[in-house]
Amino acid sequence: MLGGAVAARLVADGWDVRTLQRRPSGVAGVHDELGSVTDAEAVSRAVAGAEAVVHLAAKVDIVGPEAEYRAVNVEGTRTVLDAARAAGVSRMVFVSSPSVAHTGDSLVGAGAGPAEPSRARGPYARTKAAAEQLALATDQPGFRVLAVRPHVVWGPGDTQLVGRIVARARAGRLPILGSGAPLIDTTYVDNAVDALVAALTAPTDSYGQAYVVTNGEPRPVRELIDAICAASGVPVPHRRVPAALARAAGAGLDAAWAHLPLPGEPPLTRFVAEQLSTAHWFDQRRTREALRWEPRVSVDEGIARLAAHTRAAVDA
Residue 102 pLDDT greater than 80, yes or no: no
User: For residue range 21-60, what is the model confidence (pLDDT) as tens digits?
Assistant: 999 989 999 999 999 999 999 999 999 999 999 999 999 8
Q: How confident is the model at residue 112 (pLDDT cuts 50, 70, 90)?
A: confident
Half-sphere exposure of 187 (CA within 13 A, CB side): 28
Domains identified in the chain, total number: 1
Rounded CA gap, 50 and 2, in Å? 20
* Length of the chain (residues): 316
Q: Which domain holds residue 30?
A: 2-315
Long-range Cβ contacts of 135-142 (<8 Å, 24+ apart): 135/55, 135/77, 135/81, 135/92, 135/94, 136/94, 136/208, 136/209, 136/210, 138/81, 138/85, 139/207, 139/208, 142/90
The partner residues of 148 in beta bridges, in order of sequence, read 95, 211
Residue 271 pLDDT greater than 80, yes or no: no
Residues with a known catalytic role: 124
User: For residue range 126-154, what is the model confidence (pLDDT) as tens digits?
Assistant: 999 999 999 999 999 999 999 999 999 99
Q: How confident is the model at residue 275 (pLDDT cuts 50, 70, 90)?
A: confident
Residue 116 pLDDT greater than 80, yes or no: yes
Summary mean pLDDT of the chain: 90
Give the residue among 4, 163, 135 at the shortest CA–CA distance from 75. Answer: 135
Residue 121 pLDDT greater than 90, yes or no: no
Q: How confident is the model at residue 157 (pLDDT cuts 50, 70, 90)?
A: confident
C-beta neighbour count of 232 within 10 angstroms: 21
Give the residue among 92, 20, 90, 89 at the shortest CA–CA distance from 49. Answer: 89
pLDDT (0 to 100) of residue 316: 67
Residue 172 pLDDT greater than 90, yes or no: no
- Amino acid of residue 181: A
Contact 199, 148 (CB under 8 A): yes
Rounded CA gap, 98 and 62, in Å? 15
Q: What is the CATH number of the domain that holds 25?
A: 3.40.50.720
pLDDT (0 to 100) of residue 243: 80
Q: DSSP letters of 2-28?
A: HHHHHHHHHHHTT---EEEESS----T
Range of lowest pLDDT (118-122, 216-220, 231-235): 118-122
Q: How confident is the model at residue 314 (pLDDT cuts 50, 70, 90)?
A: confident
Percentage of the residues of the chain whose pLDDT score is greater than 70: 99
